[in-house]
Chain A
């Protein structure tokens, strides 16, 4: 299986901050990398697909980059509604999809 490792596991930040979350794959996955946001008691919600494509309806302060094994999710200016847990997911191996362990973004 392709292992996905996110860092950090948790992060404290303030409204207006620029935040970056990293995701590393255990082997090259080209650009087959998706990002999700999950709020307590809710299902994950797609933010970014194919490493850098913004899902329709997602604010432009969210952006993704990377290819191969290293990827980043950036929030350019944190808003109160952005405090949540973020997950990366590889879609390269469709026989066994895998997710990162999550990054919990908390208010400082």
Chain B
């Protein structure tokens, strides 16, 4: 059974960097049939996909246009985990952040499962 365990601070000051980590058990961050994603949820924006990292002979990252200039997602194969860094945060970045695996079935079918437990990150001084 695949499980994702998130960690990271719940309070970040404006203009600073939000950093979260997602530890994977039951699967590999280097899996060729998965991708590792960050998603956030807020009352104003709903569920918003932020980006993913995946390994297909080399590492590929894809980011949402809305955060592309501020986001970095990295994989750490030695710890079997991946991380999110979001720079220059503002109060609008206040949200519950989730990590999630995309699993690829046949015919390009794909879905988010499982999800991490979520981390409420508040951007405030």
Contact = CB atoms under 8 A, between A and B. Distances in A.
Q: Is B one of A's binding partners?
A: yes
A101 B113 CA distance: 19
Contacts of A99: 46-49
B98 A94 contact: no
Given A49-B105, A95-B62, A43 B118 contact: yes
Chain B at the A interface: SS class? strand
A31 to B, nearest CB: 8
A96 B98 contact: no
Most chain A beta carbons < 10 A, residue from B37, B65, B98, B112: B112
A96 B65 contact: yes
Chain A at the B interface: SS class? loop
Interface in B29-61: 37, 46-49
Contacts of A89: 47, 111-112
Interface residues of A, number: 23
B47 A43 contact: no
A5 B88 CA distance: 31
A96 B52 CA distance: 10
B11 interface: no
B101 to A, nearest CB: 11
B82 interface: no
B3 to A, nearest CB: 12
A44 B62 CA distance: 22
Given A43-B98, A43-B116, A43-B117, A96 B49 contact: yes
B111 A98 contact: no
Interface string B71-100: 000000000000000000000000000101
Give the 7 A-B CB pairs with smallest separation, nearest first.
A43-B115, A99-B47, A97-B49, A49-B111, A46-B113, A34-B111, A50-B109
12 contacts: A43-B115, A43-B116, A46-B112, A46-B113, A49-B105, A49-B113, A50-B109, A91-B111, A94-B102, A97-B37, A98-B49, A102-B46
